[in-house]
Structure 1
Amino acid sequence: MDGEVRYITLVCDDVPYSVVLADPGTRTMDVLKEIRRLTGLSLWHGKLLIGQLPATVLEDQPEDTARTAASALCAVGAVAHAVEQTD
């Protein structure tokens, strides 16, 4: 390796996922509380998010984290999906 430069390409198998809220359902306050628990947003910012549907609640998450978050939102009456991010 006398002065030879080598480059290594890293391959990442973990594709990032987003959690997309499609519909808050009828239990809006419960959905707002869950958004707050998942993201740390205030209830006011959560309400703004719900007003812009479909809304991305979380981005750049591992698949299991995104699916768990989407399930938590669905458990309180929302329609949410874990979506593979494509760039």
Structure 2
Amino acid sequence: MLCQLVLTDPGRRPVDIVKLIHRRTGLSLWHCKSLISELPTSILENVPEEVATAMVAEFREAGASAHTEANP
């Protein structure tokens, strides 16, 4: 099943979350920063459930709040 990763709160260290998004998606730092300014936001779409779940754990470990949602 394909899912999306939704970020709901960058936590206390938003700069670390911007860097994490940049490393995992390859998006520019500017684009990553703009993503976390409008929450909730979808970080990844159409990825396997295992990938999305692993990334949610990584975001939570970095102090952010995130979850997966099934693609419509």
- TM-score normalized with structure 1 length: 0.79
Structure with more contact order per residue of length (Cα contacts < 8 Å, sep ≥ 6): 2
Percent identity over the alignment is 43
Whole-Å separation in 2 of the counterparts to 1:83 and 1:63: 9
Q: Which has the larger radius of gyration?
A: 1
- TM-score normalized with structure 2 length: 0.94
User: What stretches of structure 1 of length at least 5 have no aligned partner?
Assistant: 1-14
Deviations 1:8-46 (A, max 9, x none): xxxxxxx21000000001111110111011111111111
Q: Is 1:70 matched with 2:48?
A: no
Q: How much is the aligned-residue C-alpha RMSD, in angstroms?
A: 0.7
- Return the structure number with greater strand share: 2
Runs of at least 4 residues of structure 1 off by over 3 A?
none
Aligned to 1:23: 9
Shift of 1:83: 1.1
- Return the structure number with greater helix share: 2
Aligned to 1:34: 20
Whole-Å separation in 1 of the counterparts to 2:70 and 2:21: 20
